[in-house]
Amino acid sequence: MDISVTRKGDYELVVEKQDRMLVEATIFASDKIRLEPDAIAQLKNAACLPSVFRALAMPDIHVGYGVPIGSVVATRDIILPAAVGYDINCGMRVVTTPMKADRKEAVRIAESIRRDIPLGEGKRNISLSEDDFRVVAERGVKGLRKVSRKEGRIWDVRDEKDENEDIQKIEEYGSMEGDFSTISRRAAERGRSQLATLGGGNHFIEVQEVQKVFDTEIAGRFGLWQGQMVVMIHTGSRGFGHQIAGDYMAKARQASLDRAPNKDLCFLDIGTEAAADYIGAMHCAANFGFVNRQMMTVLVRHDLRRLYGEMPLPIVYDVAHNIAKLEEHFGQEVWVHRKGTTRAFPKSRMGGTIYADVGQPVLIPGSMGTASYILVGTEESARTLNSVNHGAGRTMSRTKAAGVVSRKGKVKRAGVITDEDFRESMAGIHLICENRYAIKQEAPQAYKDIDEVVRVVAEVGLAKIVARMVPMAVLKG
């Protein structure tokens, strides 16, 4: 596809209105960041949607399903399941510790966590009755109070004081208005036993060192200091969210195939029963994602306190980076679809929250083996509907990176990343992984340079860098 792209500065490119586009599309990237033509084509297609308000992409943009990952698509009168994606409320959380970073202890912590949190696809952990699962799906973290008398270790070590403090530091307070009646029985079956599981793909738990603090005052406000040990959690709504997404993408095709830019960009009209049902179901999946990270935090805290004694272990924040929300921007109420992008509210939009004085913490992970960042939202992020990137962004497919390997380890087709390349990239980092044959899919070489990606965001002024963390131990699916 021939697409005209114009660079309008060191960090901004514009796809001007052409063909059926209703708005121009903007990409924030430096000339050091490679952009896939297919990802640009997907963003252009999103700019052709009926009632589209904005189509934007961050420096981590890469090809996704329907719209590119690393994009923000805002619409007035429609909602798109594909622009949220399959892993609804995939997101990030950082747990702080009062401990100084120590590689030996990081290994000890990681090995303890692996015994409590299942890694990889299809794993189970906490099982709930249908009634309890309904409460969690409809009320999120706040719903846990209704199921707190369950038997089992995780319920025994769950601390309501910790939980109440956490709620103040979770996007949407960890609770969106879900409607359990809008989800399929298959979705409920897939979700009821998957809480407190990590999943596969790019999800991880990392024991990290705060390597550098860029803003001491804001870092202190977030509970961060240089040389500190922290734990970062990256996971989402697991099979529950995936099933909901698939169910409603099919319904969207039935509703709008004849009006959509292509079969992958079908939508539901706001005001219809189908759209209302998707919103209720999406909120259920989002609540699952928040509760999943909350339950994993309970287990991480349990492991740390068992190893080192009672200590405060507050979170910095919990952010979603696959979600659609109704927000006001430039005087209009629009549905902001963030797919692989992170909300970055400045302090003017954080009124009434614990961070009203500084702005929202923004959690941006790197790829496995590279740095991660914590930033804070700025007023300049209004340009991107208060959004920034969600990570580094892939430069190659998983198959290209790792090749095709059988479950028994037989190489069917070699990937471009060799075993030696992978070992070198992970030097000095303790790696725990469920599938050692597929792990090269997530190698650092398969991703863009996180330092350059974050530099672009900071130079444009969309967020301010607060701290940089590096991994000491990594747990992967």
Residue 359 belongs to a domain: yes
Kindly report the CATH number assigned to the domain that includes residue 20: 3.90.1860.10
Length of the chain: 477
When pLDDT is averaged across residues 45-61 and rounded to a whole number, the result is 98
Provide the terminal-to-terminal Cα distance of the chain, rounded to the nearest Å: 36
Answer whether residue 205 is part of any domain: yes
Total tally of structural domains belonging to the chain: 1
Q: Classify residue 28: in a domain, yes or no.
A: yes
For the entire predicted model, the pTM comes to 0.95
Q: Are 429 and 435 in contact (CB under 8 A)?
A: no
Contacts 24+ apart (CB under 8 A), 44-47: 44/1, 44/3, 44/15, 44/18, 44/19, 45/261, 45/262, 45/265, 46/71, 46/73, 46/83, 46/261, 46/265, 47/15, 47/17, 47/21, 47/22, 47/23
pLDDT for the residue numbered 149: 66
Q: How many helices (H) and strands (E) does the chain have?
A: 12, 21
Residue 444 is predicted with a pLDDT of 85
Please compute Rg for the chain using Cα positions. 21
Residue 416 lies in a domain: no
Give a yes or no: residue 435 inside a domain.
Answer: no
Q: Which of 27-41, 228-242, 407-421 has the lowest mean pLDDT?
A: 407-421
* pLDDT score of 355 more than 80: yes
Could you tell me if residue 237 is inside a domain? yes
In 153-265, DSSP assigns E strands to: 204-213, 228-235
CB 109 within 8 A of CB 307: yes
In a domain, 192, yes or no: yes
Q: Could you read off the pLDDT of 70-103 as tens digits, one per residue?
A: 999 999 999 999 999 999 999 999 999 999 999 9
Domain residue limits at 360:
5-395+447-476
What does the pLDDT look like over 114-161, one tens digit per residue? 999 999 998 999 999 999 999 999 999 999 998 866 666 688 889 999
Q: Tell me if 465 is assigned to some domain.
A: yes
Task: State the catalytic residues.
Answer: 390
